[in-house]
Amino acid sequence: LHGTMSVKNKNLYIGGVKCENVAKKYETPLYIFDEKLIRKNCREYVNYFKVKENNNKVAYAGKAFLPRYMCQLIKEENLYLDVVSGGELYTAYKSQFPMEKILFHGNNKTIDEIEMGIKLGVGIFVVDNFYELDLIEEICERYNTIQDIYFRITPSIEAHTHEYIKTGQIDSKFGFALTNGDLYEALEKVKEYKNINLIGLHAHIGSQIFEVDPYMDAVDIMMNLIKKIKENYNIEIKEIDLGGGIGVYYTKHDTPKTIKEFCESIINRVEKTCEKLKINKPVLIIEPGRSIVANAGSTLYTIGSIKDIKDIRTYVSVDGGMTDNIRPSLYQAGYECAVINKIGLDKINQVTVAGKCCESGDILITDTDIMEIQSGDILITTSTGAYGYSMSSNYNKIPKPAVVFVKDGKSKLICKRQSYKDLISLEL
């Protein structure tokens, strides 16, 4: 049970709202979010990452889940926002998110996206490569403006996570490598360029990481770089962005650290390393996505067909699948599930939860224990708040589910369910 989840008479409640009633009101499949838990996570980051005392910054990684309502919530909680595309930037802009609190990421921002960011006045461009560096200088010159930037570096740290979501190793499409002289060439350019102001360094070592050690290594590498860049280029690096990636609980195999433990380890390490190297303490930035929203979101499905293949396996099919949660098929990610009005009953069956897509690989959970079930029951999969809705698709022309936020006994629709009409609305 995460956040405000509770059980009364075997019925699951989130945010004081009975899940059964939410499913009836909005229909399934449906994403349901615990607003209090999202806000609690934001506040823990702000508190333990010393936003007030040290002027550190917490930037929510919008790629995890970014409807307009989230932009407003993130703004209210005083976080910065990390965007990675013109679309995310547009969503933030249309939600009145302050542009100066935006960090613009991406390894191939298009010319249009760069121009859009500069025109809207985004706070920081996290510059990934030479192509982008040259474009920003050129476009800023045209608009007669100066842009603050960070350099994204590839720190050559191997974090233990899935191959597809590793980013810190040397063989990566992201960032300036430290080992082949690229970063130094980029620094030479910055010294020459008049419309670019390099204020920080960024590294993101991967996602769904449970250990703090790779972050400690990143801190050490970045602090040493600050010193070296000051000595060799006379450029003052004032901000260090350590990316996101803090792991969360999906199943009992996951052993996440708390937000407090993570933040404190990083802050202590920075202090120690600064003392050792005799450099000023930089402003620190962290970019959590998953650890803010994953556990706050769940998905409600209606169970349809139940196919029992004697002595082999029972397939329980639901009215969603890889279209609303691609993570099991893409990363072999694990999830937990339950029937929302049978919580606490003994889990007597072993089943495989399948989606409704025309694809054998559309399996949400393989061989999971579950209580007595029948067609028509509402199944909940928990911890689907990050990279669920944001990675959803219209494969098989299946409409995207609605998204509902619950809090203090009330539910609020924040994204409408797609209609069949919506599905063909762009087709001429």
User: Tokens 């072999």 map to which residue?
Assistant: 332
Question: How far, in Å, CA of 129 to CA of 175, rounded?
Answer: 6
Considering the complex, what minimum distance in angstroms separates the CB of residue 325 from ligand LLP? 9
- Number of residues that make up the chain: 428
Decide if residue 246 touches ligand LLP (CB under 6 A). Answer: yes
Q: Which of 291, 323, 325, 381 binds ligand LLP (CB under 6 A)?
A: 291
Q: Find the part of the chain contacting ligand LLP (CB under 6 A) among 38-46, 60-68, 277-285, 308-316.
A: 60-68
Give yes or no for a contact between 335 and 251, defined as CB atoms under 8 angstroms apart: yes
Q: What token pair was written down for 338?
A: 């339950």
Single-letter amino acid, residue 298: S
> Who's near 428: CB < 8 A, 6+ residues apart?
none
Among the listed residues 250, 124, 235, 253, the one whose alpha carbon sits nearest the alpha carbon of residue 183: 235
Tell me: does residue 41 bind ligand LLP (CB under 6 A): no
Distance in Å, CB of 346 to ligand LLP, minimum: 32
Per CB under 6 A, 287 contacts ligand LLP: yes
Nearer to ligand LLP, 61 or 404 (CB): 61
Choose between 214 and 243: whose C-beta lies nearer to ligand LLP: 243
The span from the CA of 165 to the CA of 172, in Å, is: 11
Binding of residue 105 to ligand LLP (CB under 6 A) = yes
Q: Assess whether 415 carries a catalytic annotation.
A: no
Please check if 269 is assigned to a binding site.
no
Cβ-contact 159, 209 below 8 angstroms: yes
Q: Is 328 in the site for ligand LLP (CB under 6 A)?
A: no
Compute the distance between CA of residue 166 and CA of residue 209 in angstroms, rounded to an integer: 10
d(CA 228, CA 363): 50
Residue 43 annotated as binding site: no
Stretch that binds ligand LLP, among 8-16, 20-28, 45-53, 59-67 (CB under 6 A): 59-67
Residue in 388, 390, 345 with CA at minimum distance from that of residue 370: 345
Site for ligand LLP in 65-84 (CB under 6 A): 82
User: Of 56-64, 229-237, 304-312, 373-381, which segment contacts ligand LLP by CB under 6 A?
Assistant: 56-64
Cis peptide before 29 (omega within 30 of 0): yes
- Range 202-221, binding ligand LLP (CB under 6 A): 204, 207-208
Per annotation, catalytic residue among 140, 337, 358, 415: 358
Among candidate residues 380, 293, 352, the one with its CA nearest the CA of residue 28 = 380
Shortest Å distance, C-beta 85 to ligand LLP: 12
Q: Beta partners for 125?
A: 104, 149
3-state secondary structure of 313: strand
Q: Which of 3, 86, 214, 289 binds ligand LLP (CB under 6 A)?
A: 289
Enumerate the known binding-site residues for pyridoxal 5'-phosphate.
245, 287-290, 387
Enumerate the known binding-site residues for substrate.
290, 327, 331, 359, 387
Enumerate the known binding-site residues.
245, 287-290, 327, 331, 359, 387
Give the residues lining the site for ligand LLP (CB under 6 A): 61, 63-64, 82, 105, 165, 204, 207-208, 243-246, 287-291, 327, 331, 386-387
- The catalytic site residues sit at 358
